[in-house]
Amino acid sequence: MSTVAHGPARVQRGYVTTRRGTVHLRYAGEGPAVILLHDSPRSSRLYAPLLPRLAEQFTAVALDTPGYGNSTALPADRQLTIADFADALAETVEALGLAGAPVYGFHTSSKIALEYAHRHPALAGPVIMEGLSLPAQPTPEHFIDRYMAPFQPLADGSHLAAVWTRIRDMHRFFPWFDLRAETRMAVDLPSPALLHDYSLDLFSAGAHYSDAYAAAMRYRAEPALAALRVPAVLCCRPSDVLYPYLDALPEPRPAGLRVERLPDTREAWAERVSALLGEAVAATDGPRGIPGLQGVTPPSGGGPVYLPFPHGQLHAYAHLGAAGARAPLVLLHDLPGAASELLPLFQALVGHDRTVVLPELPGTGDSDALAAEASGIDEHAEVVASMAAHLEIDEFEVFAAFGSAPLALRLAATHPARVRGLHLAGLPWLTPEARQAVDRQIAPALTPQACGSHLLTLWHLLRDRALAWPWYDGSAEARRAITPHFRAETLQSTLLALLKQLPHWGAVTRAAMREDTRARLAGIDCPVQLLLREEDRRDIPVRTAAPGGRHLRHAERPDEAPALAELLDMSGGRP
């Protein structure tokens, strides 16, 4: 499970499926359930430091609002309203079995919590609203348009500097685009690590980052406040730009509504929020635990799931297809790389109703990293084998994209009775000296920088990966004679997966590149299909040195996912 080192309680992640899609959550603890909602454009990541503390008293459940974090976005066929998000929250609460649980909302989500209590009184428990804005006049549309500058990835990476600068200014000015002394906030600029954390949420929301944000700016809270029928607390911290609204409540106030002026210091604030949640729990007969949490079974049509392994949780996309002649297929993404790069192939195979599993390898995306002392290729192979076992998949084939091919070979060597065949889209074919050089340089250590340079470093690594082998070699000899497909959205998704695990992202790559694939391939008994490109520098050594035979054959690697899915399905999918 995903472990956060802020206390003894383990913070875990999971999903629940509703009529509107999948909802992602973080949770910790036992006892009475309480629900935490984040502001925009954040996610449940915001509460990772707080959850272990709340877990001492509660089952603390932090949800990703639709369109944020890992939750499915709401349909954008019309302008979304806070009522849409309140109704989505009601469906999530019902699906999780959390009717009656207190809800804490912050900024944007204080309005979602309020409207939820107003529209769904039979489901709602007490609500705690921190930072509820009550402007005298509606927010002008031209202000909303300016504030919600579109998020648009660009293939050259130039959007990264613009977004990072916006994030910095959002923590110094309100509104962020008005850089005057009068709009400067009297707060400290967060550390590079916290700015990086904020960027992960903005990047995760992507094009949807303004969905709830803009809806909150258009929302008028007064009607719902006047009709409120559940116990409620309106609160704020003095350093918050919304603090003055504590004195703007319409009169008369509902009988069950009170105002709290929260302390500013982090520790005192956390203590007071915990106390308010305790009071809310005492005022209602709410649920304990999370009765409706999705376990290790993926959604019926295929989708994301968390699976346990000794070091935490493995995040994967899985589809359990119809039983038949075609063996289940495990997809392993490139290294360095991300599972999102193989999602088109995953979806194409789902369309064939084949059992297929695509994990985010440990230390990438939302999968936890292995411990440093146990991060070799054997340990990574065992995680993949364990994943299949949790899904009750006894035998399977493996498709591996280049950098993960050494991992696929090790998996076949250690589990020969379970791995029925390998499809390797390239294979590192290195001398001992070359392996040492690649090990040193393939995955440089990176930390968040105040100027955001770590974003561009990774972006160009990913672009260069498509242009040269190894990526850091700028010589003419290193060029890959193929046309690169620089799709900005694909690059952005891969970048996000690596940024989520910045301290760990290189571990599995280095483990794979240390493998002697020449010796390993020679000892494999199962059928192996090498999917190669004749003109690609990466493929030339293995094409030349690994002749075809009874267990080994070569095939041209298709560019597009549908064609590759057809190739993998030929003759029952066997190499």
- Contact in structure between 262 and 130 (CB atoms under 8 Å): yes
Question: Which of 18, 30, 12 lies closest to 292, judged by CA?
Answer: 18
Q: What is the pLDDT of residue 194?
A: 97
Question: Which of 119, 125, 128, 67 lies closest to 98, judged by CA?
Answer: 125
Query: Which SS3 state, helix, strand or coil, does residue 424 take?
Result: strand
User: Which tokens hold the place of 449?
Assistant: 């920088």
Q: What's the Cα-to-Cα distance from 489 to each of 246, 463, 494, rounded to whole Å?
A: 41, 13, 9
State which amino acid sits at residue 520.
R
Q: Please, where in the chain does CATH 3.40.50.1820 lie?
A: 12-147+210-282, 303-442+508-573
In the sheet that holds 127-130, the strands lie side by side as 12-18, 21-28, 59-63, 33-37, 103-106, 127-130, 232-236, 257-261
Query: Which SS3 state, helix, strand or coil, does residue 109 take?
Result: helix
- Contact in structure between 467 and 480 (CB atoms under 8 Å): yes
pLDDT, one tens digit per residue, over 310-369 is: 889 999 999 999 877 689 999 999 999 999 999 999 999 999 889 999 999 999 999 999
- Contact in structure between 357 and 330 (CB atoms under 8 Å): yes
Q: What is the pLDDT of residue 325?
A: 65
Question: Which of 486, 406, 570 lies closest to 158, judged by CA?
Answer: 486
Q: How far apart are CA 320 and CA 300, in angstroms?
A: 8
DSSP string, 258-277: EEEE--SSHHHHHHHHHHHH
Cβ-proximal residues to 436 (8 Å cutoff; 6+ apart), any chain: none
Q: How far apart are CA 111 and CA 109, in angstroms?
A: 5
State which amino acid sits at residue 439.
D
The residue length of the chain stands at 575
**Cα Dmax for the chain:** 85
For residue 17, what is the enclosing H or E element? strand 12-18
Q: What is the pLDDT of residue 548?
A: 66
Q: What is the pLDDT of residue 297?
A: 86
- Contact in structure between 396 and 426 (CB atoms under 8 Å): no
Q: Which CATH number fits domain 303-442+508-573: 3.60.140.10, 3.40.50.1820, 3.30.390.30, 2.70.70.10?
A: 3.40.50.1820
Give pTM, 2 decimals: 0.94
Q: What is the pLDDT of residue 5?
A: 42
- Residue numbers in the chain where pLDDT is lower than 50: 1-7, 571-573
130, β-bridge pairs: 106, 235
266, 268, 273, 275 alpha-carbon torsion, rounded to 10°? 160
How are beta strands 552-556 and 528-532 bridged, if at all?
Answer: parallel
pLDDT, one tens digit per residue, over 167-203 is: 999 999 999 999 999 999 999 999 999 999 999 999 9
DSSP string, 44-101: GGGGTTTHHHHTTTSEEEEEPPTTSTTSPPPP-SS---HHHHHHHHHHHHHHHT-TT-
CATH number for region 12-147+210-282 = 3.40.50.1820
Q: Report CA torsion sign: 455, 437, 473, 465.
A: negative
User: Which tokens hold the place of 423?
Assistant: 């499809």
Q: How far apart are CA 534 and CA 540, in angstroms?
A: 7
End-to-end CA distance of the chain: 35
Neighbours of 310 (CB within 10 A): 11
Rg (CA), the chain: 25
